[in-house]
Amino acid sequence: MKITRVDAVPVDMKLAEPYTIAYETIDSARNVFVRIETDTGPVGWGCAAPDLEVTGETSESVVTAVLDVIESLLRGSDPLRTAMLLERLRGPLASQPSARAAVDMALHDILGKTAGLPLWKLLGGYRHRIRTSVTIGILPSDETVMQARHWIDRGFRSLKLKGGKDLDSDVERLMRVRAEVGPRVGLRFDANQGYTAEETLDLVARVKSVRLELIEQPTPKGDPEMMGRVTAAAPLPIMADESLMNLRDAFRLARKGLVDMVNVKLMKVGGIGDALQINGVARAAGFEVMVGCMDESAYAIAAGLHYALARPNVELADLDGHIGLVGDPAGGAVRLKDGYLYPTNRPGIGFVPEL
């Protein structure tokens, strides 16, 4: 089997409801779908969700990478040699993790289709579903409570609130949401680098009765030692997100014990292959792993889901980036029921985007 063609298709999708985080407001998403064709039939699909703030990429840079670099480096190669091909791309695409992630997905899709197995089973098959949280952006207190009730009524039992812009407002919103949803709903808080160590610990003390499951990336990614001070003093788990971009970051966080948990996003780390390596470091360090996402087509969400289902150490999921995307060509790539995500169970990633 040989790769005969690699191409890229950018797709614009509007968000049904724009949302705000600590440093920006998002109302749309542009993903780039990557298609790898072979001479014997199997076609692999991948999806990149570049984000200039997080991955340092744009959709234009991903398309350029596919057409000018990836296609020429992969054409004529055996697509089943995933490790060799992804290593070939590592140098030229060192600063383009979502482009690498899209190729990684497409190669794994071909691998699963060739084996006749859904990818989660091929990679380990630990669980068949996982509960996901759903995210509420930074909103006024009353609207935050309304959103929380909306998602609970739709069957979700885990909510993640964004914050990091105003400490007093964040405390009020967390207290009011807990009062609204009751004690059995899991609450997570993501400050998106918006706090200092002192502010984070102040929030922790003031919302003790809320019983947060975790706090995600409370402090700036450029100062991992600051987050380490929070981890050492806080009585609840602290999770790295923006501070974890690659395997080396995972090692640094683990070596110094700077966090309790890590959020692994395929778009940040370069795909499933690298995510599995990071998971190994996390497990050795005693870190729990959450699989997260960007604003992604359900196809990319499906790839993250397969990774999560394959490994026991990936205990948490925040795979909601596809919810509310208008015009997603892969809307059926995952199944959501009562807050749990399920794969299609077809071979590979299990869906063919309608492009």
* SS3 at position 4: strand
- Numbers of helices and strands, H then E, in the chain: 13, 15
Q: What is the DSSP letter of 314?
A: E
| 8 Å CB contact between 199 and 164 | no
Facing residues of 5 across strands?
Answer: 37
Catalogue the active-site residues.
162, 190, 216, 241, 265
Q: Which residue's entry shows tokens 């795909």?
A: 271
**CA 103, CA 36: separation in Å to the nearest integer?**
8
| 8 Å CB contact between 187 and 177 | yes
Instruction: Give residue 245's Cα distance to chain centre.
Output: 12
**CA 339, CA 341: separation in Å to the nearest integer?**
7
**CA 307, CA 119: separation in Å to the nearest integer?**
8
| 8 Å CB contact between 11 and 329 | yes
User: Can you give the length of the chain in residues?
Assistant: 355
Q: What is the DSSP letter of 27?
A: E
* SS3 at position 240: strand
Facing residues of 9 across strands?
Answer: 33
